[in-house]
Homo-oligomer: A and B are copies of this chain.
Amino acid sequence: MTLSPLFKPDPALDLVLERFIEVPPELVWEAWTKPEHISQWFTPKPWIVAECEIDLRPGGIFRTLMQSPDGNESNDLRGCYLEIVPNQRLVWTDALLAGFRPSENPFITAIITMEAEGDGTRYCSMARHRDESVRKQHEEMGFYDGWGTVSEQLAAYVKTLPATSR
């Protein structure tokens, strides 16, 4: 995909995960934009997505509450959407909340791109950070393992969707 230079990854500041998914972009888009789908793949199992809010427009909320199996640990991700280009690009950040309000704890902007490739999708997820130390921190927190597991779950989940959704 020809990305605008604005969205080209900077190796010093960004972390990128790319893979092929064996369903068309429309279905990957669907899985990314409805709470009932997000809850099936968005956090590495056995953690669960206990709550998910999606208001799919620029400035609209994107929130997922992830919980450990025993419910003792949780991660409440709050952010908003920045760009919505159906079946092509979805951008959200936790640096802004609903209505574009600056947040308390900015960490990443996520740029998700998908492009048709044969019968499937070339899928790319990028985490953008403010400086090298935050990128490094994210890498050490297990970006490749975590986002890798989650994209594996996504790729497996979209294949199980009923034919009516495909």
Closest to A3 in B: B99
- Asked whether A96 lies within 8 Å of B99 as measured between CB atoms, the reply is no
Most B C-beta atoms less than 10 A away, residue of A83, A129, A130: A130
- Asked whether B96 lies within 8 Å of A101 as measured between CB atoms, the reply is no
How many positions in chain A have a CB within 8 Å of any CB in the partner chain? Answer: 30
Give the contacts of A86-118 with B (CB-CB under 8 A): 91, 93, 95-96, 98-104, 106-109, 111
Given A82-B96, A102-B128, A106-B106, 11 further pairs, Cβ under 8 A: A6-B99, A58-B83, A59-B82, A82-B100, A91-B100, A93-B100, A95-B103, A96-B109, A100-B128, A102-B107, A103-B130
